[in-house]
Amino acid sequence: MSAPGLHDFQRSFGARIRGGGRTPWPAGVPAAAMARYEGLLFANLRGFLDRCFPVGRACLGEARWARLCRAFFRDGACESPWFRDIPRAFVAYLEAGETPPLPRWFAALAHYEWAELAVELMDGEGAPADPGGDLLDGIPVLNPALLSLAFDWPVQHIGPDYRPRRPQPVRLLVYRDAADTVCFVELSPATAALLALLEPAARRGRDVLASLAGQMGREADAAFLEFGRHALADLCRLGIILGVQA
């Protein structure tokens, strides 16, 4: 088969795999063989999606979930060769909004469920840190395996028995602790702002707290710094901060 002919065959074969019965299969391929390929590849895709999004699957029910997976298989884009990237492509497909009708909160719920896998796969090697160092005068080191997320819906509570009717904004932190367990923490607005200030630059804890005080319209006095010290210590205890730069 010539290169152009092979490419045409591959495109036709791929279109049939993704489109199912809506698309004719390539000439010369037995119907039974085509059906086996279609079933095998879709089953593989379903396996990854079922494992990553159990709450979303339970919320939709089996028939509706299967139709959504089929629509993603047909219309979604996944350019990565890694199977582990299929769930992220699914989230992008949902967030693009070109899906069958879904609950308004469903894309946010899927993003929340995907975050666990994302954090599991993150590199946990960060800068050397002294867990006993002074969090005010030292430079706090954030756990590198974390995601800070903001949603318009209370995704951590959504399930078959709870489906919110109106938005309820929430900020969440997903991180991997020293035991390689993925943890979820709901953040107050002040803690979320503190973490955002810790992320972009290496600064002493007291300088970060001074910036936070400015954002809050407060003076960075002794009382505020002491409050901040306790907040940093709590983050360190949870494993969100690893300590200070060694």
- Predicted local distance difference test score (pLDDT) of residue 136: 95
Q: What is the average pLDDT value for the chain, to the nearest integer? A: 88
CATH of domain 126-246: 3.90.930.50
Helices (H), the chain: 3-19, 31-52, 54-60, 62-75, 86-96, 106-121, 189-198, 205-215, 222-238
Q: In whole angstroms, what is the distance from residue 246 CA to residue 22 CA?
A: 61
- Give CATH 3.90.930.50 domain extents, the chain: 126-246
- Give pTM, 2 decimals: 0.85
Q: In whole angstroms, what is the distance from residue 139 CA to residue 146 CA?
A: 18
Burial class, 25, CB count within 10 angstroms (exposed 0-12 / middle 13-18 / buried 19+):
buried
DSSP 8-state assignment for residue 26? P
- Give CATH 1.10.150 domain extents, the chain: 1-102
- Predicted local distance difference test score (pLDDT) of residue 14: 60
Mean pLDDT per 10-residue run, the chain (246 residues)? 58 61 64 67 87 97 95 83 88 92 97 96 83 93 95 97 96 95 95 90 90 93 94 95 91
Give 119-167 pLDDT, tens digit per residue.
999 987 777 899 999 999 999 999 999 999 999 999 999 999 999 999 9
| Alpha carbon of residue 223 to chain centroid | 37
CATH of domain 1-102: 1.10.150
Q: Identify residue 38 by its one-letter amino acid code.
A: E
Q: In whole angstroms, what is the distance from residue 187 CA to residue 190 CA?
A: 8
- Predicted local distance difference test score (pLDDT) of residue 3: 53
- Predicted local distance difference test score (pLDDT) of residue 202: 82
